[in-house]
Structure 1
Amino acid sequence: MLERFVGDFCVLTGSRNLRLLILLIVFPILAGCGFHLRGSIEIPPTLNPLYLQSAPGSPVRRAIEDLLSGSDVRLTANPAEARLILRILSENRSSRVAAVDANGKTLAFELHYLVRFDAVAPDGAQQVPPQTLDLVRNFDNPDVEVLGKQLEEELIYQDFATDAADRILMRLRAVLI
């Protein structure tokens, strides 16, 4: 998109050199500000490959695998090969009533997604101490569109898993680099 904008701008000005100049200015600025394409996760090369340990069918595990695809971080299926073991210790979903009307009808829920994780070396040495993420979002509950609201609730929990995966990787990066 940026290239198209620059190209359109240069067509208006009639200068190919101006296009090159703008690109030479913009790309170093993006690189210098810490901008990385999605999937660019940094962990020290000495900690590659990474093993993910979690409950079967873990949504956070799937989200972490998606975020790591396209990065330099390699995942292994064998914990003996791993130099770092990321353990998803628990994932819990819950909700509670957040608002009711005068008749006691539930108007809104507060959805929670609680994730506990840590990271250890293959010898069991703690690399990242156990940490907890508690993600919260309000969820309106009108009388209409009951099936649509059930689907919306599931989508919110999927978003929670993706957000939790992103936060876990950010914390790993902060501690390990």
Structure 2
Amino acid sequence: MQSLLTPSGLSGRFSTGLRLLACVGLVALLTACGFRLKGQTPLPFNTLYTNIAENSAFGAQLRRSVMASSPETRFTNDVTQAQARLTELSNTQTLEEVSISVQGQVEEYELRIEFVFQLTDNQGHVILPPTTLVATREIPYDSGALQAKQGEIGALYIEMQQSLVDRIVRRMTAPEVRAAFENPEDLPVDESATKVPEQPQMGSGGAAPSILRMPNTNPSGAFY
């Protein structure tokens, strides 16, 4: 067995030590530059209030994603204790006909969610102005498999909600949001944002639009 005290053994240990030292130095450098593990992008605030109901599917998805991205951030139900406020302004779901056969039968529907929100600090400074996000999916229609299609619509709706949640989190963790939150002096103030917001009347986890209940005579295909 080769002794660790031989020149070759000492050389191996020295080489291993150098590699370890280089790795430590690289990690320190990346940390100093603001590098973080993929999936974690801390928000500039530690407490967040939202009027999106916690017991809704959308609200639960949002809370999980925010806390996964920013582990130090916690949601609070007391708006006076929140450093920032995420306000849902509207959340509209529609189901529209997009393809009609020569016989006048619906062949395809488009499921659409339009979500509007804004982000303010506890003084009402508008960190993110009213922002509209849209998610759409198309689904073929089969009058002979309505129950299966209803289940497919429900699954698509959940997928679309998660897509919107991911985009909301990306917006909130953007560098410009951090800069705006830390330097709000020149930002506009939304006076209504200093009041306790009402729970939104629609959206936030209501049932997906249903082709089983949608009237055939409804030209817009809208359903809430």
TM-score w.r.t. the length of structure 2 is: 0.59
Cα RMSD of the aligned pairs, angstroms, is 2.7
Q: Contact (CA 8 Å) 1:41, 1:68: kept in 2 or not? A: no
Partner AA of 1:141 in structure 2? Y
Indicate if the aligned counterparts of 1:41 and 1:73 stay in contact, CA closer than 8 A: no
Q: Which amino acid aligns with 2:116?
A: R
Equivalent residue of 1:127, what SS? strand
Equivalent-residue separation in structure 1 for 2:172 and 2:95 (angstroms)? 28
**Counterpart in the other structure of 1:43:** 43
Q: What is the CA distance between 1:103 and its match in structure 2?
A: 0.5
What percent identity do the matched residue pairs reach? 22
Residue equivalent to 1:84: 84
Q: TM-score, normalised by structure 1?
A: 0.73
Pair member with larger Rg: 2
Q: 1:108: Cα distance to partner?
A: 0.4
Q: What do the CA deviations read for 1:108-149 (whole angstroms, capped 9, x no partner)?
A: 001110000001111211111000011111111123321011
Measured after TM superposition, the shift of residue 68 of structure 1 is: 2.6
Which AA in structure 2 matches 1:67? S
Paired amino acid for 1:93: Q
Partner of 2:169: 169
Structure 2 residue matching 1:102: 3-state secondary structure = coil
What residue identity is the alignment partner of 1:176? V
Consecutive unaligned residues in structure 2, runs of 5 or more = 1-15, 179-224
**2-structure distance, mates of 1:57, 1:100:** 38
Identify the residue that residue 142 of structure 1 maps to in structure 2.
142
1:99 maps to: 99
Letter in 2 for 1:160: M
Whether the 8 Å CA contact 2:66–2:169 is kept in 1: the answer is no
Q: CA 1:137–1:124 in structure 2 vs 1: closer, same or farther (change >3 Å)? A: same
Q: Does 1:74 align with 2:71?
A: no
Query: Shift in Å at residue 58 of structure 1?
Result: 4.5
Map residues 117-128 of structure 1 onto 2, 5 A cutoff: 117-128=117-128
Flag the structure with more relative contact order, 1 or 2, with Cα contacts below 8 A and sequence separation at least 6. Answer: 2
Q: Which has a greater percent of helix?
A: 1
Query: What is the distance in 2 between the residues matched to 1:131 and 1:65?
Result: 19
- Tell me the alpha carbon deviations over residues 81-115 of structure 1, each in whole angstroms, 9 at most, x when there is no partner: 11010111111100111111111111100111000
